[in-house]
Amino acid sequence: MDGPVFEAGSWVLSQWNGSQELPRSIYLHLAADRSFELYQSLNTIGYSKYTGTYTVTVYEQKALLSGTYTDGTPWESSYVVESQTAELLRLRSQTAGNISQYVAAEIPDYVKDGITVKNVRAEAEKPFL
C-alpha cells in the first residue's frame, strides 16, 4: 500500500467518544496476515469471540480499516486510523464519526478462555465493529 502504514497488534478499548466509562469490554487483535479476532463482553459472563479478515486502504491520506466477519457479514463501518503508535490506536467510524481509542495490550488468557456460548448469553449481542 502506498501512503500511510498500519501496524498490526493487540489492543484493548480504553476510551469511546472521549469517555473512559465504557459500555463493554473490548479486546481486538489485528494480525499481520489481515485476520482479526474481536473479544467483547456486554452484560454477559465471559466474552463473545468474533473472527474474520480486514483490509487496509488509503482514505484522505490515512489508513482505512474495513473488515468482514467469518460468516460474510461486513463490519458495521469502516474505520479511519486517526493515529497509531506502538502504545495507542485511535479509530474514527466512517458512518457515525465515533472515536474509539485503544491501548496496546496482550489479550489475557481469561478473555480467550472465557468464551460464552451463544445460547447462554443474557441478551443478543452485535459485534462492536
2 lies in some domain: no
41 lies in some domain: yes
127 lies in some domain: no
pTM score, whole prediction: 0.83
For the domain that residue 62 is a member of, what is the CATH number? 2.40.128.280
Structural domain of 69: 9-120
By percentage, how much of the chain surpasses pLDDT 90? 61
4 lies in some domain: no
18 lies in some domain: yes
pLDDT band at residue 19, thresholds of 50, 70 and 90?
confident
What is the per-residue pLDDT across 76-102, written as a single tens digit (0 to 9) for each? 999 999 999 999 999 999 998 899 999
What is the per-residue pLDDT across 45-58, written as a single tens digit (0 to 9) for each? 788 899 999 999 99
Q: How many structural domains does the chain have? A: 1
Per the listing, cell 494480525 goes with 31
